[in-house]
Structure 1
Amino acid sequence: MQKEPLKTESPAGLPPELEPKKMTIQVSKVQTPMRIDRYLTQQVENATRNKVQEAIEEERVLVNGRPVKSNYRIKSNDQIHITFLRPPAPELAPEDIPISILYEDDDLMVIDKEAGMVVHPAFGNWTGTLANAILHHLGKDADELDKSEMRPGIVHRLDKDTSGLIIIAKNPVALHKLATQFARRQVEKVYKAIVWGVPNPPSGTIKTNIGRSHKNRKVMANFPYEGAEGKHAITDYQVIEDLSYFALMDMTLHTGRTHQIRVHLQHIGHPILGDETYGGATPRTLPFSKSEQFTKNLLELMGRQALHAETLRFRQPTTGELLIFTAPLPEDMQLVLEKSRTIMTANPC
């Protein structure tokens, strides 16, 4: 297929390697109708379907001046403007970074990721990621893995500031089988979270749709369950420890939407302690003396959202054996719980 002419431009004020890349594509008069995500993947060098769809979802793709959806079918003479926020990625390289491997066999590893570690390279975090550490650990065995999306063997992901368990596949067959288990909701994932306040009732199920916020496309928002916007998301919750002003909770995911637990806990009015994006990082005044200073100190001690991927249950992709793993609560969350228990005892509700 002959490519359409492209025009590129970059805004002034940034080094060239950090500038967003803007392109204009004039669709041919004889172009047959085609989904725009497929069309742009063919037309733009090094563009992947995922990156194109992300740009469309974030309204960085305009057709004749208006945003469209990924299933929009281009027409002859359409004019397309597209902005890629991220510059071309450097080659993914192995790095000798310590990682906590709880289990390893010929097909997979289960890693207890520490908070602060990015799972895979992206704009602003090209090095020092779990993906870099995986390549180093596997050595030549990593040659089997697809590195084109900078996610070698990564079956699912955790946010940078979420600690806990993550599964890494060591070969393409295992990756496919594990990804299928996730897609079919056959993997049980249980998280621990420390939240503001104590939910009432102490257990239940949260059901909403989750999609990009209308106000800020970089964050997620709740929409009516099974409505027209977003994708349906289901989370079970259970209060494990009532700390009067805070609660330690179990959160079980039945779907895997971006920021699902964080968004759902915000939705029920109990955001995760330390969560800057979803309303959990502002000191509060509670019904005891010097409470605002106490909550400020608690947030500084935590330094991140108090969320930990504690338990995973899934089938070994070759043998079918049920594997169950648990990662202990990290030290920062344990310290927050100890201080919360102390203040609850000294200032009962």
Structure 2
Amino acid sequence: MPEYSHIVKAEEKGKRIDILLSMLPGVDSRMSAVRMIEDGAVELNGTVTTTKKRIVCEGDRLAYVVTLQAPVELTGEYLPLDIRYEDDDLIVLSKQAGMVCHPAKGHRSGTLVNALIAHCGYGNLAQLQGEDRPGIVHRLDKDTSGLMLVAKTDVAGRLLQEGIQVKSIDRRYLALAHGYIAPDTGLIDAPISRGDSDRQRMVVSDSASARLSVTTFTVLDRFEAGRHDDGYTFLECKLYTGRTHQIRVHLNYIGHPCVGDPLYGKGSVKAQLGLDRQFLHSYRLVFDHPISREHLEFTDPLPRDLQQALSSIQEGSMGRTVAGNALFDLFSSADRT
């Protein structure tokens, strides 16, 4: 993989790092520059940077690695889509576990983007996230299931992204964590960066490249420890930022990783309750429509594999919390409608 370096000149100072990078040898577009930054392939003054908005100064030293890849050819594939709402501006859908959001190395087909192209047509999807990510507003990990937003127009996409940034879009997840979490509510404010030794893992870090990451949680139920585990806590988690693997990293950071998590998990095979993916589900989206301003609320019950895992420990329940009872009532009400 070609390696490059560049010393920032006087006339280049004050530029954003992604804009400057896109002008340098080996980088064919600004979106490529953004991908390189997100992948941890760019160093500023000897430190990996993952912030595309960083302003460079005269004399700064940039070092970057360009991964040579064949361009991704996007084609439509008629794959099942669980669409909960659709109009001319946006789609709300529930992504199944195992589906990658967009084509990338090792995943050239079978992605959500391939299915969206077949459903809408490439030209009928927003392009704000780049030509290889049409329609994508935010992402879910491959093995995280649940509700997602898709933009059909650039105007809707921009307004939805702004809504996520200013926290006017309420995104909540259900997670089953290892161990007993004592407080009923909590806030995890811990910056996240890409790991130095394992680039697939994200870590809580105080490095200059770490980005602000905030998650809150509310306990819904707790479960007694058994022969093969140290108990479990059922949680609702709310994102205030949207970093890669954020909830999984934050729960691991406080010593209570998601059940079944192959990257950040702990415990015996039996303690994973038969799951081969993390117990994490995007179950609630609440927002005002970016164009019509209609107030929209969506709720998505646990898929079968997660519900079976939760049911398998139900006898060990120590009693739902007030929030847990409210969630149970919410799902019961949805089942009746």
Same fold (TM over 0.5): yes
**CA spacing shift, 1:215–1:46, aligned 2, 3 Å:** closer
Q: Is contact 2:138-2:149 (8 Å) kept?
A: yes
1:98-117 superposed matches below 5 A? 98-117=80-99
Match 2:237 to one of 251, 259, 283: 251
Q: Is contact 1:209-1:229 (8 Å) kept?
A: no
Q: Is contact 2:83-2:92 (8 Å) kept?
A: yes
CA displacement at 1:67 relative to structure 2: 5.0
Distance in 2 of aligned mates of 1:108 and 1:63: 38
- Give the aligned CA root-mean-square deviation in angstroms: 3.0
Would you say 1:41 and 2:22 are equivalent positions?
Answer: yes
Q: Which residue of 2 aligns with 1:167?
A: 149
**CA spacing shift, 1:221–1:129, aligned 2, 3 Å:** same
**CA spacing shift, 1:219–1:318, aligned 2, 3 Å:** same
CA displacement at 1:241 relative to structure 2: 1.6
Structure 2 runs not aligned, ≥5 long: 225-230, 318-337
Would you say 1:231 and 2:217 are equivalent positions?
Answer: no
**CA spacing shift, 1:144–1:261, aligned 2, 3 Å:** closer
Distance in 2 of aligned mates of 1:271 and 1:200: 15
CA displacement at 1:253 relative to structure 2: 1.3
Distance in 1 of aligned mates of 2:40 and 2:87: 43
Q: Is contact 1:89-1:126 (8 Å) kept?
A: no
Match 2:270 to one of 294, 301, 306: 294
What secondary structure is seen at the aligned counterpart in 2 of 1:194?
A: strand
Q: Is contact 2:31-2:130 (8 Å) kept?
A: no
**CA spacing shift, 1:59–1:100, aligned 2, 3 Å:** closer
Distance in 1 of aligned mates of 2:216 and 2:63: 42
Distance in 1 of aligned mates of 2:70 and 2:2: 13
Would you say 1:120 and 2:102 are equivalent positions?
Answer: yes
CA displacement at 1:318 relative to structure 2: 1.1
**Deviation sequence 1:281-312 (CA, Å, 0-9, x none):** x41xxxxxxxxx6326x2xx211001000000
Q: Under a length normalisation based on structure 1, what TM-score does the superposition of the two structures give?
A: 0.77
CA displacement at 1:57 relative to structure 2: 6.5
- How many residue pairs get matched? 305
Distance in 2 of aligned mates of 1:62 and 1:240: 42
- Which amino acid letter does the alignment assign opposite residue 65 of structure 2? T
Would you say 1:22 and 2:8 are equivalent positions?
Answer: no
Percent same amino acid among aligned pairs?
Answer: 36
Q: Which residue of 1 aligns with 2:332?
A: none
Distance in 2 of aligned mates of 1:116 and 1:253: 22
Tell which structure's C-alpha radius of gyration is larger: 1
What secondary structure is seen at the aligned counterpart in 2 of 1:174?
A: helix
Q: Which residue of 1 aligns with 2:260?
A: 274
Structure 1 runs not aligned, ≥5 long: 1-20, 284-292
- Which amino acid letter does the alignment assign opposite residue 189 of structure 2? K
CA displacement at 1:332 relative to structure 2: 0.6
